[in-house]
């Protein structure tokens, strides 16, 4: 039984994240999408809101489970007995941060393997921060996030988006 953790802040979940989850769900028996509280990033959405959106966006995948976590990723991996971490890589600019994090996690727990997956080219430019940066300007986001969470995003900030 191959179990993998897909950790992230998911502030909010995007079509790029869903693409990675879809790919991972065909490669592993179980994917645990782990939503980090991540107070250092001061997320726009609360952890409860982010978990709710990730659950909605992944409900069609039968082998995907969604949880929240407040601990170190290595401690979560012990708790879940899962030694595979999935991360999405979109461009060269992602590599530095991802390699640093991957090596830091490996220095804490050598059994932990980080596996990088590439999203479809059409999603390669999408990030949660791009979505958040469009919101104050009523920028169109319907092509960036799953349709089922559009309402949750708009409700949160009272933004009148042009959808």
Residues lying near ligand PNS in the complex (CB under 6 A) are found at 7-9, 36, 38, 72-73, 101, 104-105
- Per the annotation, the verdict on 2 as an active-site residue is no
Our CB check for ligand PNS shows the closer of 101 and 117 to be 101
- Catalytic one among 2, 25, 41, 129? 41
Question: What's the rounded Cα separation, in Å, for the pair 82 and 79?
Answer: 8
Our CB check for ligand PNS shows the closer of 36 and 141 to be 36
- Catalytic one among 17, 25, 50, 77? 17
Whole-Å CA distances, 43 to 47, 106, 150, 162: 8, 26, 17, 23
Structure tokens at 161: 């988006």
Our CB check for ligand PNS shows the closer of 2 and 41 to be 41
- Catalytic one among 25, 56, 128, 147? 128
Closest distance to ligand PNS from the beta carbon of 108 (Å): 8
Query: Do 112 and 74 touch, CB atoms closer than 8 A?
Result: yes
Closest distance to ligand PNS from the beta carbon of 148 (Å): 20
- Per the annotation, the verdict on 55 as an active-site residue is no
- Per the annotation, the verdict on 90 as an active-site residue is yes
Could you tell me how many residues make up the chain?
Answer: 163
Please provide residue 61's backbone torsions phi and psi, each rounded to the nearest 5 degrees: -100, 115
- Per the annotation, the verdict on 70 as an active-site residue is no
Q: In what order do the strands lie in the sheet with 84-88?
A: 64-69, 30-36, 3-8, 84-88, 113-117
Our CB check for ligand PNS shows the closer of 17 and 28 to be 17
Catalytic residues: 17, 41, 90, 128
């Amino acid at each position: 039984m191959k179990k993998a953790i897909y950790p992230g802040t998911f502030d909010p979940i995007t079509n790029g994240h869903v693409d990675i989850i879809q790919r991972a769900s065909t490669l592993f028996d179980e994917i645990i999408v782990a939503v980090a509280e991540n107070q250092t990033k001061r997320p726009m959405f609360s952890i409860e809101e982010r978990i709710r959106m990730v659950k909605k966006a992944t409900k069609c995948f039968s082998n995907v489970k969604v949880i929240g976590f407040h601990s170190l990723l290595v401690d979560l991996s012990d708790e879940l007995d899962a030694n595979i971490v999935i991360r999405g890589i979109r461009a060269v600019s992602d590599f530095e941060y991802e390699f640093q994090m991957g090596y830091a996690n490996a220095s804490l727990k050598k059994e932990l393997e980080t596996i990088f997956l590439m999203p479809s080219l059409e999603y390669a430019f999408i990030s949660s921060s791009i979505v958040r940066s469009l919101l104050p300007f009523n920028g169109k986001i319907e092509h960036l996030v799953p349709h089922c969470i559009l309402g949750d995003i708009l409700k949160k900030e009272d933004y009148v988006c042009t959808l």
